């Protein structure tokens, strides 16, 4: 048998028969997957609608314009944003912002990766440090709970004033609390900084109106908003990059830098992004991926339906509620929670004597897929950190209920704290997986 098809079949069975708690994964509809393998993959569409460098793009133009329109319909209530749907994934989307507005030696400020930031926002081994300087803002303990941490707004403000970064990134990979976008954007814009909001993890919650949004008017909104499409948005692996469709007054000090030729004025931030994506860095867009993104947007808007027959808002509300149930169960079973969740993910602190890599591998052997993760001010290495990150978007897509998440939290606790036999946990996790919907 063809070895590629063999591996695909094995992966199919693995996904169906395991319990996926990876916070950055989900299960798109079969329509999304079908479009990824559709004839759109055959077409080369270098350029933008109405200005392609190859012939035969009449329908490609219509597709791209429709996906742009649906993306703005889902996210932008201000009318102040444009969107590029040719970016291929999240980290390259962030890179497009860097290449659009930064010069070698400029400073980027982002959330410390050890305390919840993302690798694409720069870190100590990032290749981008060959070109840019990095400073971090941090989290601090709050009065919510002994182990609760939130963005330290005072630190955020002080670092901006002291370091004058050209670009401030508001975004995370492992931060369970809500961002306060308007406040943070306003602080950065008051100091003349560009702001990139990376909402790769929470964009589905933003689209459902269940999380604060960076799509706001004037200097209360982010200048650029990047996102992936395969996490809480429940689409294909892909990305979108939004930017203001005008030149904000608070960025006037950069006007001459970006508009040296007065006969060809740059009128908007999205224009700069578009030029960087094509022809600045990329060739032909992946139309099959673009079509699949469009399908997930139709499902969010209610113009088509995900097979669970829930509205996207109801689905997203269940994601949050299930995450809260899961973390409460883990906490009641003796596993400390890092900051009560307001999103689709939660962080737990493992017992000091345990090796998080071994915990992750052991849970995988039992049919429970998780990922180890650093927790705020972790003293352990990134390879063997102190915590575990769990997300509920994927299993909620398979129809897992609150009671079932409670059962799953018990199984995880029984495994970590060695309170039940391996055979029994394996049996129960497989039974739970097989009781869930499987849409393929």
Q: Give the whole-angstrom CA distance, residue 273 versus residue 258.
A: 12
Q: What is the pLDDT of residue 367?
A: 98
Q: What is the pLDDT of residue 145?
A: 74
Q: What is the pLDDT of residue 228?
A: 98
List, in sequence order, every residue forming a beta bridge with 140; answer none if it has no partner.
150
Q: For this structure, is 228 an active site residue?
A: yes
Do the beta carbons of residue 222 and residue 183 sit within 8 Å?
no
Got the DSSP string for 312-379? HHHHHHHHHHHHHHHHHHHHHTT--EES--SSSEEEEEPPTTS-HHHHHHHHHHTTEE-EEE--TT--
Whole-prediction pTM value? 0.96
Q: For this structure, is 78 an active site residue?
A: no
The catalytically annotated residue of 43, 133, 157, 237 is 237
- Show the domains of the chain with their CATH numbers: 30-301 (3.40.640.10), 310-434 (3.90.1150.10)
Backbone angles phi, psi at 79, to 5 degrees: 75, 10
Segment 22-79, tens digit of pLDDT: 999 999 999 999 999 999 999 999 999 999 999 999 999 999 999 999 999 999 999 9
Find out whether the peptide bond into 323 is cis, omega within 30 degrees of 0.
no
Q: For this structure, is 358 an active site residue?
A: no
Q: What is the pLDDT of residue 260?
A: 64
Q: What is the pLDDT of residue 251?
A: 84
Q: For this structure, is 219 an active site residue?
A: no
Question: Which burial class, exposed, middle or buried, applies to 358 when counting CB atoms under 10 A from its CB (0-12, 13-18, 19+)?
Answer: exposed
The catalytically annotated residue of 43, 44, 157, 304 is 44
What tokens appear for 337 in the block? 């929670």
Do the beta carbons of residue 385 and residue 113 sit within 8 Å?
no
Q: What is the pLDDT of residue 262?
A: 67
Looking up tokens 């209920």 gives 401
Q: Give the whole-angstrom CA distance, residue 288 versus residue 286.
A: 6
What tokens appear for 404 in the block? 């079932």
Q: Give the whole-angstrom CA distance, residue 174 versus residue 180.
A: 16
All residue ranges of the chain with pLDDT < 50 are none
């Amino acid at each position: 048998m063809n070895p590629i098809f063999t591996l695909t079949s094995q992966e199919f069975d693995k996904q169906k028969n395991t319990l996926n708690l990876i916070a950055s994964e989900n299960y798109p509809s079969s329509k999304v997957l079908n479009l990824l393998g559709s004839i759109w993959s055959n077409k080369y569409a270098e350029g933008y609608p109405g200005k392609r460098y190859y012939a035969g793009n009449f329908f490609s133009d219509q597709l791209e314009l429709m996906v742009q329109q649906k993306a703005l319909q889902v996210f932008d209530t201000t009318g102040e944003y444009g969107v590029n749907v040719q970016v291929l994934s999240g980290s390259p989307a962030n890179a497009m912002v860097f290449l659009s507005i930064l010069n070698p030696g400029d400073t980027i400020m982002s959330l410390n990766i050890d305390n919840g930031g993302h690798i694409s926002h720069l870190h100590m081994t990032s290749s981008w440090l060959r070109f840019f300087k990095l400073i971090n803002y941090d989290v601090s303990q709050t009065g919510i709970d002994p182990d609760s941490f939130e963005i330290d707004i005072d630190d955020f403000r002080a670092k901006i004033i002291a370091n004058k970064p050209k670009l401030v990134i508001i975004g995370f990979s492992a931060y369970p609390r809500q961002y306060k976008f308007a406040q943070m954007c306003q602080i950065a814009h008051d100091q003349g900084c560009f702001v990139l909001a990376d909402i790769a993890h929470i964009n589905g919650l933003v689209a459902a109106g269940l999380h604060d949004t960076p799509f706001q008017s004037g200097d209360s909104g982010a200048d650029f908003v990047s996102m992936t499409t395969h996490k809480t948005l429940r689409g294909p692996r892909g990305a979108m990059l939004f930017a203001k469709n005008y030149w904000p007054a608070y960025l006037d000090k950069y006007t001459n830098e970006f508009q040296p030729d007065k006969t060809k004025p740059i009128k908007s931030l999205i224009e700069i992004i578009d030029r960087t994506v094509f022809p600045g860095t990329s060739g032909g867009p992946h139309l099959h991926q673009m079509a699949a993104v469009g399908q997930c947007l139709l499902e969010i808007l209610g113009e088509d339906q995900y097979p669970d027959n829930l509205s996207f808002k109801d689905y997203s509300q269940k994601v949050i509620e299930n995450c809260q149930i899961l973390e409460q169960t883990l906490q009641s079973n003796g596993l400390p929670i890092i900051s009560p969740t307001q999103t689709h993910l939660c962080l737990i602190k493992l017992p000091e004597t345990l090796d998080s890599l071994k915990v992750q591998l052991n849970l995988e052997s039992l049919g429970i897929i998780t990922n180890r993760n650093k927790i705020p001010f972790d003293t352990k290495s990134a390879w063997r950190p102190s915590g575990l990150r769990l997300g509920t978007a994927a299993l909620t897509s398979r129809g897992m209920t609150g009671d079932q998440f409670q059962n799953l939290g018990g199984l995880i606790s029984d495994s970590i704290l060695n309170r039940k036999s391996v055979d029994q946990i394996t049996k129960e996790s497989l039974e739970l997986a097989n009781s869930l919907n499987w849409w393929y």
